Structure 1
Amino acid sequence: MAQPPASGLSIDDRLVIAATLDRIFYDDPDQFSREDAATVRRLIPHSRSAWLRLGFRAESQGPSMKGEAAGVGDVRMEGDKKVVEGNVGESAVWRCGQYKITNHDGDLEIWQVMSDEFAQDPKGARLEFGPTGEPERLTFFQPRDIELRIPFTSFAVGLRLGGWNYWKQAAPSA
């Protein structure tokens, strides 16, 4: 997990960022304000990003037992489920209201606090800027899951590939 930055954003900055992101996401279904996008980008400190970012999640199920219980019939007890998560190459993450924000490579990656790439229903967005620094579009995270079963065993390997799909674009300049 990425280490939280020491400091750099006041509570006032964090409140402004959260309110501005709410406007970007929810005010208009087709476009967002260029000024709002520029404000968020200006306030979130840029952090260096690794050339490769990988996240992983491994789940294993403990041994199970089955048998018969008097008056109940067939019974099956599942073993404990163990989950291990980690990542490599993560940038600094800033918490602002209900959002976690990373400013890397000029674009902002935004996740709801209780969500990430591995969530059942991930809630992430990317605010993308062009080469001149002007806001261009907002995309949302759409995972693509692949499961590979190992023949003649009960093992499966799951792979989640992240993809970003178009959501809305910046409003025309005034």
Structure 2
Amino acid sequence: MNEHSLDLNGRLEAHALLDRLVADGPTFLAGDARRLIDLIPVAPGSRISFTGVFRGRGPGAKGHAAGIGDVTLEGAAKQKTLTLNLPTSHRVGGYVVTHTPGHVEIELMWAETRADRTSQSCALVYDVSTKEPTEMRIAVQKSLTVLFVTFAYISFIPWKTPETA
């Protein structure tokens, strides 16, 4: 088995852990977080990664239809995705999980279909040497407009802390 894969039992256990970690409330169980950190394979980290989506339409057609007149057909929608240095991610239930040293990103599988991606993902942050969870952060979408181009980006703000026994 590949060291970067997750077997069925691991996926089922990870799904239960994820459901508990992202549940409502100001705290999360540190034991659940530690187990998730151990369970999800770590991908090599990169300081910079990029995903871009370019959308457009293909060529259209114009013509004349008997009894109707001039007609115009729009070209089919096209989409091209560009990625750079993305770490390996794992699909676990309705989540996509990416584990890099010190950081486990948890995203809803359908998050990319939303115009506003606020609250569609979160991150579990932990100390790399001790694997002790320090906090969870939740995604907030922000935008920056330069001239006529708007860039949307995700920031992670503090959300939950480990429960103290």
TM-score band, normalised by shorter chain = 0.7 to 0.9
2:13 partner amino acid: V
Aligned to 2:133: 135
The answer to which of 160-169 and 5-14 deviates more is 5-14
Give deviations 1:19-64, integer Å, cap 9, x for gaps.
Answer: 11101111x4110000000010000011102231111112235678
Aligned to 1:22: 19
Give deviations 1:1-24, integer Å, cap 9, x for gaps.
Answer: xxxx78632101100100111011
1:57 aligns with 2:53: yes
Q: 1:147 & 1:133 partners in 2: Cα distance?
A: 39
Give deviations 1:85-140, integer Å, cap 9, x for gaps.
Answer: 22111111111111111110221011111224x74232111011135421111111
1:145 aligns with 2:140: no
Aligned to 2:67: none
* Counterpart selection for 1:9 from 1, 6, 11: 6
Task: Give the TM-score of the pair, scaled to structure 1.
Answer: 0.75
Aligned to 2:157: 165
Point out where structure 1 has 5 or more consecutive residues left out of the alignment: 66-75, 151-156
Cα distance change of structure 1 residues 165 and 12 upon mapping to structure 2, 3 Å threshold: same
- Identical positions, percent: 23
User: Which protein has the bigger strand share?
Assistant: 2
Task: Verify the 8 A CA contact 2:3 2:41 in the aligned structure 1.
Answer: no
Cα distance change of structure 1 residues 57 and 147 upon mapping to structure 2, 3 Å threshold: farther
Aligned residue pairs, count: 161
Q: 1:139 & 1:50 partners in 2: Cα distance?
A: 19
1:102 partner amino acid: T
Q: Give 3-state SS (helix, strand or coil) of 1:111's partner.
A: strand
CA RMSD of aligned residues (A): 3.2
* Counterpart selection for 1:126 from 123, 129, 134: 123
Task: Give the TM-score of the pair, scaled to structure 2.
Answer: 0.79
